[in-house]
Amino acid sequence: MADSTKETTGSARSNAEAQQLLQEAWVTNIDSQTVQQMTSLGQVRLARINQLQRQAATATALKGADDPEVAAIQGSILSQQILVANLGVARNQAAVTAPIIPAKGWVVYGYVRDQNLQPVAQLTVFLVNEQKNWLRAYGYAFTDQTGYFNLSYTPAAGARASTTAVLSAFLEVIDQKRQPLYIDSSPFSIGIGTGPYRDVVLSGAGPLGKPPAGADAVPPAAK
């Protein structure tokens, strides 16, 4: 019993440390030492998941899948998996090199992940207005194999561009059938010379509905 209590206390302390690192990562610019701490904690948590999975298999064989002990172990596994996924998100965010912002332009960059915080490739990311129509002048971007996208805007040569203009827009994500998977619930601001970072997590509920009508309503989907 003492060993079990000691293990539980150590696990709780490790979880608390990981959560503190995550909070620091999402509100500040973290350094390489913190990234290494996240990597180490993630490895420890993965080892703990493997141990719990073995315990779950043994308990299931002895007591059945509906036993409260098995349910408790499965709950612990899920908790550890969520923590590991969140650590990975924060670590990846810290490792991203901020893109070069074009003269008199801006960049919106970040990642698109599924409900399990895994990267999703070959999605189209773009900006829309309040009517959810594509802001064609600002183009679009595709997510790569890591879920990363980079939507960069540079005014056309000779165009009159204000150095103080701020664009208010919604970020939208569509699949390869041009059906919307995500759209901001409220607009965000993009100023000249800025590079907003976005981390989009899809709901997993599938498309949000049919794409808007009109040839210019949405950009082409990734191939």
Residue 188 lies in a domain: yes
User: How many structural domains is the chain composed of?
Assistant: 2
Question: Cβ(52)–Cβ(80) under 8 Å?
Answer: yes
Percent of residues, the chain, with pLDDT higher than 70: 78
More confident residue, 140 or 204: 140
Longest CA–CA separation in the chain, Å: 76
Is 37 in the same domain as 110?
no
* Residue ending a domain, choose from 36, 68, 95: 95
Is 115 in the same domain as 66?
no
- The pLDDT value given to residue 209: 82
Is 75 in the same domain as 29?
yes
Mean pLDDT of the chain: 81
Is 88 in the same domain as 170?
no
Most confident of 10-14, 172-176, 204-208: 172-176
Is 47 in the same domain as 22?
yes
Q: Is the pLDDT of residue 6 over 80?
A: no
Distance CA 204, CA 25 (A): 25
Give the number of other Cβ atoms within 10 Å of residue 97's Cβ. 6
pLDDT in tens, 109-162: 999 998 878 889 999 999 999 999 999 999 999 999 989 999 999 987 766 655
Q: Which residue range(s) make up the domain with 149?
A: 106-201
Q: Which long-range contacts link 73-77 to residues 24+ away (Cβ below 8 Å)?
A: 76/52, 77/49, 77/52, 77/53
Q: Is the dihedral of CA 209, 210, 215, 218 positive or negative?
A: positive
* Residue ending a domain, choose from 95, 117, 141: 95
Percent of residues, the chain, with pLDDT higher than 90: 42
More confident residue, 94 or 203: 203
Q: What is the CA radius of gyration of the chain?
A: 22
Distance CA 1, CA 163 (A): 67
Is 87 in the same domain as 120?
no
Find the mean pLDDT for residues 27-37. 60
The reported pTM is: 0.65
